[in-house]
């Protein structure tokens, strides 16, 4: 079997995780990673044996000066690849797209870009099929991924009328919390609804979902609270079964020593997950409450990790190497150790 | 006019604020404050000229050793008073009640105690009348006070069907944040619904209100997000007018440089409020959104301050010195500088 040749443009929080995940896939080959930095971040890619490219001649020269064994520039990396995963910062990807198109390469952008940049937004359990053979897609943001994943599970069980969510967003990524962030305050998003609700509708326009969001002074993960109008009175067991339909939702118990974001992070680290990453949406089972035809629940989203499996599936969909969503999802889950129960 | 003789048992975060507020009322006399500590906290009461009492002989002795001019014990303070405001820590007040009853004194407890301890829970704008002449009442917690205040405004405008709230609770009080608190994590309350919804129903059983709550790593104030089912489609202006019916709800604008809890705290300090206290519920006007028959809004609650005006009104109600809620509320508002608009 021919392996898909994958290039990664941008070796930051997402890029390095996508690179590691690509390396774990037996149907993919990592052709290289491209960046603009010259410090420890890209040196770790060298140490891992990943082919390193500079964004252009100027950046490549600087990287060489810093003793980084640069193989070439972005153009050369793209030349060698079937598909490029753009993991550059928000809004930068849109500027790279003309180059990808010119070189006839398939590409994936992430949630920082607008839906219109690709015309397709991806959710592995939602619309894998419509991405097959496309030139490009957008893997939606961490929060949106979690929303679509959980609400689709409820929708597929015939339980969903509408959903209203409150998102507590971590202040900044841990590795750059020395640069910016908030301390001892809370920062609501200016607009109600916040953008995540409409963003979920780019994957499934039928979802009646409205979100509000607040930045909170912590860096570990997001926390979501949801209030869902069900189609009818339902039992807690029915709801849990519905969530069980997604292989990427894990149920946890508050009473199992998991009463807060930090405890779940420690569990991931103890499980040996790279960076302590959690690819699953972790829903508190014992906290979840059904009252009449209303459902209330809370879950944690690891904003650095949740989009990684989706990105791997998106690679298979765009390149058509796997035409069945279920098979790709299963393969990705196995490679990353994704579970519905952690212990 | 005979002035009401008020004693305060417990000179902590709430007690010292109640003492200051009582001093500002021309129909009340502060008979004394009682505590068990011997450090700067009670020495500040001495400096303010408040009569200081020790909880019992043993505590009085210790305070005298620390050169605190103790006037006597709790019993003696109670003897001189018409009413005692119990501001001792959660669950302690319940133990003091038999003494208050034995001495035939009216008393007020705070939100840390159960509704059953007094059989009456107080909201100045809700049930002032039913408290008139009673032996005792309970001034509900900061969060519950804010909930009852805002939802009553919507209910009185004929707009409220049901309300679902997400409460971001500050980790701890600022003055004791060296003792405990949380850092870089989020701690959901174990149970959904959280206790604040049922607590609001102790004041108005007709409220269909469900809350969830999360402890967040900041100490300034609480932040609430609400999703309200309205009786009908309504305009944003109608909702704002409804909130205007409470004299203790202030409207603020995100776009006026108030995008977060810390900015509002700074405004209160600049206004010269004692401790930077905010007695009002501060609702973001520009963030507030009406979509069809659903209302979404967010507000800030100063958990150290919001119950102070309610406590002053409760004193007037129990003692019957003022039998009209509106007059007491107006008097309290004027004395504390409570406003519907800050700038």
Contact A192 B296 (CB under 8 A): yes
Contact assessment for residue A319 and residue A267, using Cβ atoms and an 8 Å cutoff: no
Distance (Å, rounded) from C-alpha B46 to C-alpha B116? 35
Who among A214, A219, A294 is closest to B184 (CB)?
A: A219
Q: What is the DSSP string of B176-205?
A: GTTTS---S--EE-SSSS-THHHHHHTT-T
Q: What's the number of domains chain A is made of?
A: 2
Q: Is A161 part of a structural domain of the chain?
A: yes
Domain check: are B241 and B150 in the same one?
Answer: yes
Partners of residue A294 in chain B, C-beta under 8 Å: 210
Contact assessment for residue B18 and residue B333, using Cβ atoms and an 8 Å cutoff: no
pLDDT in tens, B10-53: 999 999 999 999 999 999 999 999 999 999 999 999 999 999 99
Active centre residues of A (catalytic): 142
Confidence class for position B187, pLDDT limits 50, 70, 90: very high
Dihedral sign from CA coordinates of A286, A289, A290, A296: negative
Domain check: are A260 and A118 in the same one?
Answer: no
Domain check: are B119 and B57 in the same one?
Answer: yes
Confidence class for position B185, pLDDT limits 50, 70, 90: very high
Domain check: are A294 and A146 in the same one?
Answer: yes
Q: Which of A133-137, A178-182, A321-325 has the lowest mean pLDDT?
A: A178-182
Which domain, by its residues, includes A17?
4-141+307-336
pLDDT more than 70, % of chain B = 100
User: What is residue B70's predicted lDDT score, i.e. its pLDDT?
Assistant: 97
Chain B interface disruption, residue of A170, A177, A216, A222, most B CBs within 10 A = A216
Would an 8 Å CB–CB cutoff place B253 in contact with chain A? no
- Given a cut of 70, whether residue A1 has pLDDT beyond it is no
Contact A185 B212 (CB under 8 A): no
Domain check: are B119 and B170 in the same one?
Answer: no
Domain check: are A25 and A66 in the same one?
Answer: yes
Q: Is B341 part of a structural domain of the chain?
A: no
Mean pLDDT of A196-221: 97
Q: Is A343 part of a structural domain of the chain?
A: no
Partners of residue A183 in chain B, C-beta under 8 Å: 218
pLDDT in tens, B211-259: 999 999 999 999 999 999 999 999 999 999 999 999 999 999 999 999 9
Who among B166, B220, B289 is closest to A184 (CB)?
A: B220
pLDDT in tens, A324-342: 999 999 999 999 999 999 9
- Given a cut of 90, whether residue A251 has pLDDT beyond it is yes
Confidence class for position A293, pLDDT limits 50, 70, 90: very high
- What CATH number is attached to the domain comprising B196? 3.30.360.10
Q: What is the DSSP string of B8-36?
A: EE--SHHHHHHHHHHHT-TTEEEEEEEES
Q: What pairing do the DSSP bridges indicate for beta strands B209-216 and B187-188?
A: antiparallel
Which chain A residue has the Cα nearest residue B256? A190
Q: Is B342 part of a structural domain of the chain?
A: no
Domain check: are B159 and B202 in the same one?
Answer: yes
Confidence class for position B1, pLDDT limits 50, 70, 90: low
Partners of residue A276 in chain B, C-beta under 8 Å: none
Would an 8 Å CB–CB cutoff place A257 in contact with chain B? no
Mean pLDDT of A222-232: 98
Annotated catalytic residue, options B4, B142, B203, B307? B142
Who among A184, A193, A259 is closest to B219 (CB)?
A: A184
Which residues of A make up each annotated binding site? 35, 303
Domain check: are B75 and B202 in the same one?
Answer: no
Contact B192 A261 (CB under 8 A): no
pLDDT in tens, A26-79: 999 999 999 999 999 999 999 999 999 999 999 999 999 999 999 999 999 999
Q: Which two tokens stand for residue A157?
A: 């069980």
Domain check: are A259 and A325 in the same one?
Answer: no
Contact assessment for residue A194 and residue A213, using Cβ atoms and an 8 Å cutoff: yes
């Amino acid at each position: 079997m021919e392996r898909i040749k994958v290039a990664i443009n941008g070796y930051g929080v997402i890029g390095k995780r996508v690179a590691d995940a690509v390396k774990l896939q037996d149907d993919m080959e990592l052709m290289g990673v491209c960046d603009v930095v010259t410090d420890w971040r890209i040196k770790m890619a060298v140490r891992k044996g990943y082919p390193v490219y500079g964004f252009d001649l100027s950046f490549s020269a600087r990287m060489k000066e810093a003793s980084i064994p640069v193989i070439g520039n972005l153009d050369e990396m793209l030349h060698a690849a079937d598909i490029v995963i753009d993991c550059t910062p928000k809004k930068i990807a849109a500027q790279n797209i003309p180059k990808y198109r010119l070189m006839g390469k398939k590409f994936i952008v992430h949630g920082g870009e607008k839906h219109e940049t690709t015309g397709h937004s991806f959710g592995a359990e939602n619309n894998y099929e419509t991405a097959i053979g496309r030139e490009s897609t957008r893997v939606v943001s961490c929060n949106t991924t979690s929303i679509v994943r959980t609400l689709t599970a409820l929708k597929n069980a015939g339980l969903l009328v509408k959903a209203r969510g409150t998102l507590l967003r971590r202040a900044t990524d841990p590795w750059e919390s020395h640069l910016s962030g908030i301390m001892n305050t809370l920062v609501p998003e200016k607009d109600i609804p916040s953008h995540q609700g409409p963003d979920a509708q780019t994957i499934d326009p039928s979802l009646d979902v409205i979100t509000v969001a607040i930045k909170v002074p912590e860096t570990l993960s997001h926390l979501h609270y949801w209030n869902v109008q069900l189609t009818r009175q339902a039992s807690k067991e029915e709801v849990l079964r519905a969530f069980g339909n997604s292989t990427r939702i894990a149920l946890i118990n508050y009473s199992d020593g998991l009463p807060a974001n930090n405890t779940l992070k420690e569990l991931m680290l103890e499980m040996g997950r790279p960076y302590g990453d959690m690819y699953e949406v972790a829903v508190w089972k014992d906290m979840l409450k059904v009252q009449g035809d209303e459902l209330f629940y809370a879950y944690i989203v690891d904003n650095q990790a949740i989009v990684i499996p989706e990105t791997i599936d998106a690679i298979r969909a765009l390149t058509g190497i796997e035409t069945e969503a279920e098979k790709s999802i299963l393969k990705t889950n196995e490679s990353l150790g994704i579970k519905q129960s952690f212990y």
